[in-house]
């Protein structure tokens, strides 16, 4: 594996663990899974396609950074949702 693939693997691993925790804490598990996987599949498919087929002249680094940025942004949104589930549960107790 190249370094780029390891960076993406690490990003997807952190994103996946956060998504798993969010799914376990939420009431609408199927809705959370469906929405997140569709959104992740759309932007990942677009950026990985461009990373693979439109990466001439050093543009691959830009596509990699864009993909990692979108994974990070998606992770941040899910992390905020996860934190909100913890605060809602603690307020009701």
Q: Which residues of the chain have pLDDT under 50?
A: none
25 falls within a domain: no
Q: What is the pLDDT of residue 4?
A: 86
Token output for 51: 């990373």
Domain count across the chain:
1
Q: What is the pLDDT of residue 93?
A: 63
Q: What is the pLDDT of residue 84?
A: 92
71 falls within a domain: yes
77 falls within a domain: yes
Q: What is the pLDDT of residue 46?
A: 96
Q: What is the pLDDT of residue 1?
A: 66
- HEC-encoded secondary structure of the chain: CCHHHHHHHHHHHHHHHHHHHHHHHCCCHHHHHHHHHHHHHHHHHHHHHHHHHCCHHHHHHHHHHHHHHHHHHHHHHHHHHHHHHHHHHHHHC
16 falls within a domain: no
61 falls within a domain: yes
56 falls within a domain: yes
User: What is the domain range of residue 68?
Assistant: 33-81
44 falls within a domain: yes
Distance CA 58, CA 64 (A): 11
């Amino acid at each position: 594996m190249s370094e780029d693939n390891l960076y993406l693997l690490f990003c997807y691993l952190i994103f996946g663990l956060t998504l798993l925790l969010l799914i376990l804490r939420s009431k609408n598990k199927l809705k959370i899974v469906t929405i997140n996987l569709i959104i992740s599949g759309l932007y990942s498919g677009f950026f990985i396609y461009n990373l693979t087929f439109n990466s001439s002249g050093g543009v691959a680094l830009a596509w990699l950074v864009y993909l990692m940025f979108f994974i990070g942004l998606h992770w941040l949104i899910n992390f905020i949702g996860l934190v909100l589930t913890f605060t809602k549960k603690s307020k009701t107790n």
